[in-house]
Structure 1
């Protein structure tokens, strides 16, 4: 799949080079902060897939820009995007089989609760194709722009990292402890096989650029959102991945 994304971008760039004057083609890099979160899919909420807050990660990319007029250009990009979310404190987890045996048949709770930290680190290689509109500030070197478009994403890393020590509780308020004593939650598990490898979604940005003779620097803010549920099964509910981003970058015209 990573080869497919690479070859797709290479084909897009090659086609545009055949159509566009070299003076209207720019290459660039960008990097910055990704602030992702996981949102529960409609109708699929349960204690496992709700309650996430944002984590911080890296967002970086290389791109080409094909200018068709002073107003409009197309910008394909290869982007490394940090996704996921985190939970800190009292939260649910599936009742372990060894504790289910403490209950009469069929009466074990589906979830237990404990106070620990949990982070879902999901990293994607994405291929957005963005339509970009920009406006100059009269004779000033400053330029304002917006861009938006679809993306294809491929999951390259997925780990569930937990830490802390806690009693087990049978209620979400944490008042009814099981008589098993504190348990360790220190773990780093690869969960890639539990998730779909491919995602599709939408990305958009708003930014300001400062133009030099043959190049420009820019700062932009925006975000992305995946339309597909990331889990393969339904036991842990369904979530959509997305992130807010802030990035700076540099681009030069060929």
Structure 2
């Protein structure tokens, strides 16, 4: 059934292009696999929430499989299923939500929204992403070609952890002039934060790539990125952040099949 739908869609495309006058047109389908490096960061969407700010990039893995449907000589559509690592890290003085056991140290209603300490933290957030990319190809010398691809994506949250390390005195202020602890406190912890985040995200992504043709396929290298358009936290008390990552991948794709489709001559279409 899927093959019939694909053939019908390709038939409508080639029939609508008047410059095609061959008796048959071919739709090429490629299957590819790729893997590489994700360099994600968390962008703050809230100017007055100290928890959201201060993130820098971390390093992790990115991997995907894709199908490429060649609808014209230079144009194709590429849906892909991608494992995407997101998140960010902090190293230094940072804000954290006041724990319940420390809240009791303050008079009722006078506990601050945040406390401050110096330690390391890393948010590791992994998604299963489904982009659908429009792809345009450029011919280069001999077996080489280049391409640009862009499109929207939706993603599903797989897991999320916040890992903290270090020990520090705790302060009321970011300048560390008002201590509230008499001795350093341990911040060694690994917390599951999946329940604090939205299960789904959506955004835009794209990349530029170079392709080298082989006998039955091609190898390629590409670089690009993705950016989520939805704030990931359910509760604004935990901050407001959007995901995003730079991505570098290498991969291989092979020609799965050619589908031959009859082209309706232009004169017959007019009659």
Same fold (TM over 0.5): yes
By how many angstroms is 1:233 displaced? 1.1
Q: TM-score, normalised by structure 1?
A: 0.90
Separation of aligned partners in 2, 1:14 and 1:153 = 28
Q: Distance in 2 between matches of 1:212 and 1:94?
A: 55
- Relative to structure 2, which stretch is displaced further, 213-222 or 102-111? 102-111
In the TM superposition, what is the alpha-carbon distance from 1:140 to its structure 2 partner?
Answer: 1.5
How is 1:183-222 mapped onto 2 (pairs within 5 angstroms)? Answer: 183-222=185-224
Secondary structure of the structure 2 residue equivalent to 1:122: strand
CA RMSD of aligned residues (A): 1.9
CA distance in 2, matches of 1:17, 1:187: 54
In structure 1, the residue matched to 2:130 is 127
* 2:35 alignment partner, one of 28, 31, 38: 31
Correspondence for 1:40: 44
The 1-side partners of 2:161 and 2:150 are apart by 29
- Aligned mates of 1:126, 1:179 — CA distance in 2: 43
Name the structure 2 match of 1:106.
109
User: Partners of 2:147 and 2:133 in 1: how far apart?
Assistant: 12
1:45, 1:237 within 8 Å by CA — same for their partners in 2? no
Structure 2: segments with no counterpart, 5+ residues: 11-24, 257-271
> Is contact 2:201–2:232 with CA below 8 Å preserved after alignment?
yes
Which deviates further from its counterpart, 180-189 or 121-130?
180-189
User: In 2, are the aligned partners of 1:26 and 1:251 still within 8 Å (CA)?
Assistant: yes
Q: In 2 relative to 1, CA 28–114 (structure 1 residues): closer, same or farther, beyond 3 Å?
A: same
How big is the shift at 1:94?
Answer: 1.2
- Verify the 8 A CA contact 2:86 2:244 in the aligned structure 1: yes
Match in the other structure for 1:244: 246
**Inter-CA distance 22–175: structure 2 relative to 1 (3 Å threshold):** farther
> Measured at CA, do residues 135 and 66 of structure 1 come closer, stay the same or move farther in structure 2, by a change above 3 Å?
same
Question: Of 71, 76, 97, which residue of structure 2 is paired with 1:73?
Answer: 76
1:228 aligns with 2:230: yes
Shift of 1:214: 2.2
Could you say what secondary structure the match of 1:235 adopts? helix
Mapped partners of 1:135, 1:70: distance in 2:
10
Q: In 1, distance between residues paired with 2:74 and 2:65?
A: 22
Aligned to 2:167: 165
CA contact (8 A) 1:44 1:237 kept: no
Change (3 A) 1:225 1:180: same
Between the two proteins, the alignment pairs up a number of residues equal to 242
* Paired position in structure 2 for 1:6: none
Encode CA deviations 1:74-121: one digit per residue, 9 max, x unaligned: 000000000011111110111222222222222222111111111110
Q: Which runs of 4 or more aligned residues in structure 1 lie more than 6 Å from their structure 2 counterparts after TM superposition? A: none
